[in-house]
Chains A and B, each alone.
Chain A
C-alpha cells in the first residue's frame, strides 16, 4: 500500500511561533486528508486536498498539496496552546481501497 512519511515526529514550539509538518510519498496520491488528535481524544478530520497545487486555509492553519501530488504540508501560524496534539496525514492504501494508512503523525507541544 501507499506509504506516506511524515516529519518531524515530534515538535516543541514556544507559543506564538509557527509550526510546519510535512508528508511525503514516493507515489502519486489521489488525495490526502489531515486529522488532528488532541491528547486523550480521538482523531478528528480537518481537511481533504484533492487537486494538484491546492492550498486551503482554516484560520491559522494552511494546508498545501504539492504540484506532483506526492507531498503535502500543514503550516500553523502563531501557535496557541489549543494547537497541541498529534497531526496525521493518512493516504489511501491503494487503488480501490478504502483503507487509510495513518502512520505515527507529528506530535506538537506548545510551551506557554
Chain B
C-alpha cells in the first residue's frame, strides 16, 4: 500500500516563483490536511479538507491556496513564494476521527 504520496520530495525556488505541491492518498479517506514544520515550531496546520468539495483554513493559511481535486488528491499552491515559506511540508489524511497518516514530506527551500 502506498498510503499518502507527496511530490516532489525536494524543491528549490526563487522568491516570487510559484509552485504546487501534490498529495494523493489511496486509503479512501474523507479528510486531508496540509502542515508545515519549522525547527522548534512543531507541526502547524495550513489548510484542511474535511471531505471532498470542502476546504478550510488552518492556523497559518496566508500565502497558500489549496484544491481538493477529488477524494484522493489535495494540492497546495504557493502563488508567489517567499523565503519565510522555506519549510518541510507534510500532507496527511484520515477517516474522520481516526488517526492521521502522513506522507514523507516535501523539503522546500526558497532563495
Chain A positions within 8 Å of B, measured between CB atoms, are 31, 33, 41-45, 48, 88, 90, 92, 98-105
Bound-complex Cα distance A102 to B42 (A):
7
Chain B positions within 8 Å of A, measured between CB atoms, are 31, 33, 35, 40-45, 48, 50, 58-59, 90, 92, 94, 96-97, 99-105
Known: A98-B50, A98-B94, A99-B58. A45 touches B42 (CB 8 A): no
A98 touches which one: B43, B59, B97, B101 (CB < 8 A)? B97
Q: Which residues of B contact A90 (CB under 8 A)?
A: 43
Q: Which residues of B contact A104 (CB under 8 A)?
A: 40-42
Bound-complex Cα distance A43 to B3 (A):
13
Q: Which residues of A contact B44 (CB under 8 A)?
A: 102
The answer to whether A42 and B105 touch across the interface, beta carbons within 8 angstroms, is yes
Instruction: Say how far B101's CB is from chain A's closest CB, in angstroms.
Output: 7
Q: Which residues of A contact B97 (CB under 8 A)?
A: 31, 92, 98
Instruction: Say how far A5's CB is from chain B's closest CB, in angstroms.
Output: 12
